[in-house]
């Protein structure tokens, strides 16, 4: 099982990779939204690991963590942000959903930003 610090490192790694996309012109916004989702997922798993919630091996386990971890219950909007990223990432991968540059930027600047800030404030 990865540690909280390892998950944080991976989240930051994903965000560094995201900076290689120029979201205003990239033809790879499907990949960008996937990177955004996984950065958020790793931030959330870092928080869970630091609070002793380990063994998260599925999206169902991840969803349950929102109900079990008090810091996430106190920040209920974070679940909506996570679901938006999860759903948009899945739609881009499996349903060939095309995001606009504005939508991809919004996911990075709003949903991912809010998740990162809540996680970092509660480590």
Mean pLDDT by 10 residues, the chain (123 residues): 94 98 97 98 95 82 84 92 97 96 98 98 94
pLDDT of residue 59: 78
pLDDT of residue 67: 85
The residue among 18, 21, 20, 33 whose CA lies nearest residue 99 is 33
DSSP labels, 63-92: HHHHHH-HHHHTTTHHHHHHHHHHHHHHHH
pLDDT of residue 61: 77
Please count the structural domains in the chain.
1
pLDDT of residue 55: 78
Assign residue 64 the CATH number of its domain.
1.20.120
At 61, list the tokens: 């386990």
Full residue range of the structural domain in which residue 47 is found: 4-121
């Amino acid at each position: 099982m990865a540690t909280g610090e390892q998950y944080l490192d991976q989240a930051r790694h994903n965000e560094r990779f995201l900076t290689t996309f120029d979201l205003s012109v990239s033809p790879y916004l499907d990949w960008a939204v996937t990177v955004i989702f996984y950065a958020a997922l790793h931030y959330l798993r870092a928080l869970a690991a630091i609070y002793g919630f380990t063994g998260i091996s599925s999206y169902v386990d991840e969803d349950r963590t929102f109900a079990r971890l008090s810091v996430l219950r106190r920040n209920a909007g974070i679940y909506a942000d996570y679901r938006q990223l999860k759903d948009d990432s899945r739609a881009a991968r499996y349903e060939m959903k095309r995001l606009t540059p504005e939508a991809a930027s919004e996911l990075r600047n709003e949903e991912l930003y809010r998740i990162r800030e809540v996680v970092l404030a509660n480590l």
